[in-house]
Amino acid sequence: FVLVSIVALLIAYFIIHRVFVHRRTFNGTTKLYGKTVIVTGGNTGIGKATAAAMATRGARVILACRSKQRAEEAVGDLIQETGNDGIIFMQLDLASLKSVRAFAENFLKSESRLDLLINNAALASPGYTEDGLGMILGVNHIGPFLLTDLLLDRLKECAPSRVVNVSSCGHDLGTIDFDCITTHKRLALGSSDADLFKAYTHSKLCNVLFTHELAKRLKGTSVTCYSLHPGSVRSELGRDINEWHTRIIKAFVSKLGATDTVSGAQTTLYCALQEDIEHLSGRYFSDCQLVQVKPEARDDGISKKLWEISEKLSGMA
């Protein structure tokens, strides 16, 4: 039954949006010499492809990752691939608010600029963070929320600058249960793979709402922000879901035309580098173009309430 539920959700996920092939590419020629970019989860998948594109354009790139070994291997790969030796690893575990604060402190002490913050890392794992948050809520929303807040002053100092939040068209299947968040510090109850998938879609809605509210709070600062759907991409997102289920999901997604991570990074690059989209701050993009989100995802009251709860859960309030 669990497997049937997952497949049914995936069918809805893809059919509703017709995300069979990622067609558009970002063709901008923006150079980033003298600029600094943070990419969370930059050691693998879309994050690594994004980091490579930034480094190729001359940026100093910070891979903000949990695994030191995997990140350092990625740094070596990227330097060899791009010829840019300005790529470094900094420890960041989004499942630990202490780690998020330590990363921000270390970054602000050692780096003088921040021009692009790309909140790319995400997971679909069970369990809780060390702060008692549901793992998906903590890593996919609260961690990036706190990280962004701690780095906002530096982004403002280096403006014009941008924040890019990698969401998913799965946010259309998500909803925000504030009672569940405040009572259980989770986005959804249950621990089955189907429950994890639902919690993941809720977290992606959080990303869109966070971006919507952040844009309102950044008016007049020359810091802009965007959320996006990267396309159906073969990545390690489901690595913590039951292995057999993951194999079936990967096979199913591949039949629907899942793209490679370089193609999957194109909308991230568009939101980070496309010229003359500052007036679209707070909006959502897919396939390198503006997409209208459902009413719940752009509701001022919901986004404000989510922000206030997120402040409390992250220890900001």
| Cα gap 68→91, rounded to integer Å | 7
Q: Give pLDDT, residue 91.
A: 98
| Cα gap 251→256, rounded to integer Å | 9
Question: What does pLDDT average to over the chain?
Answer: 90
Is residue 252's pLDDT more than 60?
no
Q: Give pLDDT, residue 19.
A: 46
Q: Which two tokens stand for residue 270?
A: 């568009």
Strands of the 60-65 sheet, one edge to the other: 87-91, 60-65, 36-40, 116-119, 161-166, 223-229, 284-286, 289-291
Is residue 59's pLDDT more than 90?
yes
Q: What average pLDDT does range 247-261 have in this prediction?
A: 54
Residue 270 backbone dihedrals phi, psi, to 5 degrees: -60, -50
Residue 223's identity, in one-letter code, is V
Q: What average pLDDT does range 239-268 have in this prediction?
A: 62
0.95 exceeded by pTM? no
Query: Considering only CA atoms, which of 305, 37, 231 is closest in space to residue 151?
Result: 37
Q: Which residue has the tokens 């109850």?
A: 189
Q: Which entry of 13, 33, 128, 200 is annotated as an active-site residue?
A: 200
Residue 284 known to be catalytic: no
Contact 317, 308 (CB under 8 A): yes
- The residue among 2 and 161 whose pLDDT is bigger is 161
Residue 278's identity, in one-letter code, is E
